[in-house]
Every structure is written in C-alpha cells, then in structure tokens.
Amino acid sequence: MALATAPVDIEIKFPGGGGPGDLGPDDRGREGGGDDERRTRLYQFGLALALVSITSLFVAVTAIYYTRSRVPFYWEPIEAPPALLLSTGILMLSSLMIESARRALAGRRWFVYRRRLLLTSFLGFSFIAAQLLALSELVRQGYYLSSNPHASLFYVFTGLHAIHLAGGMCVLNYLLLRPVRNWRWHRMISHLVAIYWHFMGVVWVALFAVMMLL
C-alpha cells in the first residue's frame, strides 16, 4: 500500500531577508529608497536654482553700486558703522556652529545636534539685530535711505541680505520643531540648509568688502 506523501511547504529566503518590521526608527522608509533619492535630487536642484538666482541678484546690485560710485556727482561716501563688523563676526560664528551641528548629526548625537541648531538660530537673530543696530547708527548720523546713493545702497545691501537669511532661518527653525524620527531626512535637510547658510555668509563678506572698498 502506497504511503501518501504529505505536502511540504518550502519557504524561499532571499539574502538580507526581513521585512518592514526589521527597520529601525532611524531608518524608516528605507524600502522607498528610490523615492528618497528622487526627493533628494529635487531638493538639491531647487537649492541650486535658488543660489543661482540669489547670486544674479547680488551681482546686479553690486554692478549698480560700482557704476554709480564712479560718478562723483552727489556721491558722498560714508563710513561703515562699527556694528557691521560685529554682525560679520556673528555670521561667521553661526556658520561654524551649523557645520558643527551637521557633524554631530552625522554621528547620531541628537542632543548635541539640536542644541547647536538652536545656537545657530540664536546667532542668526543676533546678526539681524546687529544689522538693525548698524542702520540705526546711520540714521543717527543723518543718513537715510534717500540721503545719497551711497547710503541708499547700504540700506539695499543689508535689507536684501537680511531677507534671504531670514528664509534660511525659517527652515532652520523648522528642523528644530520637527520631531526626531527620521535620521536620514534630518541629515539631508540639514546638509542643504548648511550649504545655504555658508553661501549667505560668503555673500555677506563679499558685500561688506564692496562697501568698505568703494
């Protein structure tokens, strides 16, 4: 009498097995790596466009500043307020701080990362406060937006730069307020914010040099 053979279930295991339940809290969404890469490239492209447009704007304003400085009529050079030196130092310090925060995040030191982001945000507000102090010094000296072309461009330079820096501060504070859940997302966005912050630091140093030399 033939014995019936019981069916055998065969489970095929693939290398690196494990399902979504194996993902840790810091690697959430790894199975959608393709979407993450596309999103990263999209963010990088958007940042590149923003940097190109901002560079074009400040190059155009600097060209106007230089061209007008070559015409002596109604051009009264003014001395840069000391507060501009203070604000420049603050911005350079904030650039070092955001880079330090980014490196802390790379080592998954969440507390250090968030604390240094907070310090960067504080320094950003301090920079804008120092810029306002510099403009108030110009007002006390009797230089207003419409006083003369040199004073007007001081206001334009500081105002445009402060507006663009404020945009970076919005994203920076969004990182601070967002819950700590996805390490990869935080690392991607903080990297892009750091690039933008360093860029605005370089822009300000260039503008400051132009105001000092012309």
* pTM, 2 dp: 0.79
Pick the closest to residue 200 from 70, 17, 50, 1 (CA basis).
50
pLDDT at residue number 131: 92
Q: What is the DSSP secondary-structure string of 167-200? A: HHHHHHHHHHHS-S--HHHHHHHHHHHHHHHHHH
Give 46-213's CATH code, choosing from 3.40.50.1360, 1.10.287.130, 1.20.120.80, 3.40.50.920. Answer: 1.20.120.80
DSSP secondary structure code for residue 133 in this structure: H
Q: What gap in Å lies between CA 202 and CA 73, rounded to an integer?
A: 31
CA 101/CA 81 separation, integer angstroms: 31
Place of tokens 């605005």: 200
Residue type, 5: T
CA 71/CA 206 separation, integer angstroms: 22
Which tens digit of pLDDT belongs to each residue from 3-51?
Answer: 444 444 444 343 333 333 333 344 444 444 567 788 888 989 999 999 9
